[in-house]
Amino acid sequence: MIQLQAIRDNKEGIFIALKKRNIDAAPLLENVLQLDEKRRATQTLLDAILAESNKISKEIGILFKSGNTQEANILKEKTVALKEDSKKMADDLNATADELQALLYQIPNVPHESVPSGSSEDDNEEIFKEGEIPALISDALPHWDLAKKYDIIDFELGVKIAGAGFPVYKGKGARLQRALIAYFLDKNTDAGYTEIQVPHLVNEASGFGTGNLPDKEGQMYHIGEDDLYLIPTAEVPVTNIFRNEILDEKDFPVQYTAYTPCFRREAGSYGAHVRGLNRLHQFDKVEIVRVEHPKSSYEALNVMVEHVKNILRELKLPYRVLRLCGGDLGFTAALTYDFEVFSTAQDRWLEISSVSNFETYQANRLKLRFKDENGKNQLAHTLNGSSLALPRVLAAILENCQTGDGIQIPEVLVPYCRFEKIG
RNA sequence: GGAGAAAUGGCAGAGUGGUCGAAUGCACUAGUCUUGAAAACUAGCGAGGGUCACACCUCCGGGGGUUCGAAUCCCUCUUUCUCCGCCA
């Protein structure tokens, strides 16, 4: 959530920045400031009442101790009215604070200055492109047909067991998937990330901390019986490691990587472009998460981008990097780079990674702080990125590496797969 | 799942109705001493709100209640430990 102090300090700047998201935040911001003022005024009144009643209580204590019951009882009566007042005032304060909080939740993160304005994904800015788009063989197939041809992914079987969007990987398909996970984790570890394994179910507080709740409630599977949510990404459990923590400056940079399955309801996103592996309810992903000093978070973001580039380069997949425009930028992100690989047989780009800096937006919700050089607690910056999301990488490998003689596994994966070819 | 015990500052651990945001020890930070370090000594050392800065307010696992007054009493939830049951 946005920092209230930021709005107090720079309402105009925030208003202008939020225009990139095509929202007119002026009324919202004005409302926030008014409620903030009201909240503080109410707090001041309440504090005065509480101070008075604390004082009287102490006097009563002293009187009782010295045996002066009569005078104590007189003082007691004085507190009755104070109590009523404070109760009323406290209710008032809570109501105002809740209202203020609700407004703050509605405000998305302030886009970084480099974020281009724009209304949809068409306005995203391509900043980098690399890799050869392979010439297709004459009878090239999309990955869902290849999956069937080589019997490596069974979508119908998944429907039988769970439903649409839960494919079953078989034989070399399963092996290739496992190889990719191991390869990604190794690359991340080599780059300084510590591998961790985290719960795949999280509680409400965790969902809230990363901003998945309450905004994106409908996108997560919820287990009512135990009030737990299946994670939509490892970002949620990993980032929540730091909920309510105060780090030391020397703890930076915090770098974690985790493989987890990811569960997404994808409510309302059926239709074209969701065939095969393009959009699933359950998929595998390897995630990288960093917690950074505000001074160096954008440097860290660039390091992450270079890291993901490097992986795609090794896999020899054609890809491009986009800087998301204001209209396409996620609610909680300040700056996001999307990575897309070219899926040759589908003749389209597939998003396979999203690398973002959330600045203090998540940290504010998480209460993730660090002690700065002056001994003051301030919010840290959180960042994360996929390195990488599996199904679309798999789809791209199948499609781009198909030959008349089967699917040629990228060289770097061969030691992990222990086979060179499918088919 | 059943029975019992517990939850206090970074850690350990006092505190069972009244100046308690909380003794004490360890850790940590700064200073004195020292060629330097250690030891010793001195001071500081939880979080949030509020203020120009103070004052002041809130927080002793979470929530609610009793009371003039709650870390302390009551209810409830969560978690941990011990015992029993079940079990990969």
Contact between A335 and A360 under an 8 Å Cβ cutoff? The reply is no
Looking at residue A16, its pLDDT comes to: 94
pLDDT confidence band for A384 (50 / 70 / 90): very high
- What are the tens digits of pLDDT across the range A71-85? 888 888 888 888 888
Q: For residue A220, give the amino acid letter.
A: M
* Nearest-CA residue relative to C1' of B29: A375
pLDDT confidence band for A371 (50 / 70 / 90): confident
CA nearest neighbour of A87 among A77, A75, A79, A97: A79
Residue–nucleotide distance: A367 CA to B5 C1' (Å): 33
Looking at residue A225, its pLDDT comes to: 78
Residue–nucleotide distance: A242 CA to B30 C1' (Å): 29
Local structure of residue A410 (DSSP, 8 states)? P
Residue A340 has pLDDT above 80, yes or no: yes
What is the token pair recorded at A213? 């709740």
- What are the tens digits of pLDDT across the range A194-237? 999 999 999 888 998 898 887 777 789 988 878 889 999 999 99
Looking at residue A68, its pLDDT comes to: 79
Least confident of A89-98, A148-157, A300-309: A89-98
Q: Are strands A228-230 and A348-359 parallel, antiparallel or unpaired?
A: unpaired
Contact between A392 and A341 under an 8 Å Cβ cutoff? The reply is yes
Residue–nucleotide distance: A371 CA to B9 C1' (Å): 17
Looking at residue A268, its pLDDT comes to: 64
- What are the tens digits of pLDDT across the range A241-277? 999 988 888 888 999 999 999 999 987 666 656 788 9
Strand B CB shell (< 7 Å): A 40, 43-44, 46-48, 50-51, 53-58, 60-62, 64-65, 76, 79-80, 83, 246, 369, 371, 377
Looking at residue A272, its pLDDT comes to: 56
Most confidently modeled of A25-29, A163-167, A181-185, A266-270? A181-185
CA nearest neighbour of A209 among A355, A334, A99, A358: A358
CATH 3.30.930.10 fits A121-422, yes or no: yes
Distances (CA, A) of A247 to A62, A98, A111: 43, 28, 26
**Can you give the residue ranges of every domain in chain A?**
4-106, 121-422
- Residue A257 phi, psi (nearest 5): -130, 140
Return d(Cα A2, Cα A364) in angstroms, integer: 7
Tell me the three state secondary structure of residue A237: helix
Average pLDDT over residues A15-23: 95
Average pLDDT over residues A35-44: 92
Nucleotide closest to A39 measured between CA and C1': B49
Contact between A384 and A261 under an 8 Å Cβ cutoff? The reply is no
Terminal alpha carbon distance of chain A: 51
Looking at residue A74, its pLDDT comes to: 83
Return d(Cα A296, Cα A199) in angstroms, integer: 29
Return d(Cα A152, Cα A100) in angstroms, integer: 53
Nucleotide closest to A62 measured between CA and C1': B18
Residue–nucleotide distance: A375 CA to B29 C1' (Å): 10
Residue–nucleotide distance: A187 CA to B77 C1' (Å): 44
Average pLDDT over residues A410-423: 95
Looking at residue A131, its pLDDT comes to: 93
Evaluate whether A4-106 and A121-422 have a shared fold: no
- What are the tens digits of pLDDT across the range A139-167? 889 999 999 999 999 999 999 999 999 99
Return d(Cα A138, Cα A135) in angstroms, integer: 9
pLDDT confidence band for A86 (50 / 70 / 90): confident
Nucleotides of B under 7 A from a protein CB: 18-19, 47-51, 55-58, 68-69
* Nearest-CA residue relative to C1' of B10: A246
Residue–nucleotide distance: A296 CA to B34 C1' (Å): 40
Looking at residue A270, its pLDDT comes to: 62
Residue A325 has pLDDT above 80, yes or no: yes
CATH fold, domain A4-106, is Helix Hairpins (1.10.287)
Mean pLDDT, all residues of chain A: 92
Nucleotide closest to A40 measured between CA and C1': B50
Residue–nucleotide distance: A375 CA to B26 C1' (Å): 22
ipTM here: 0.87
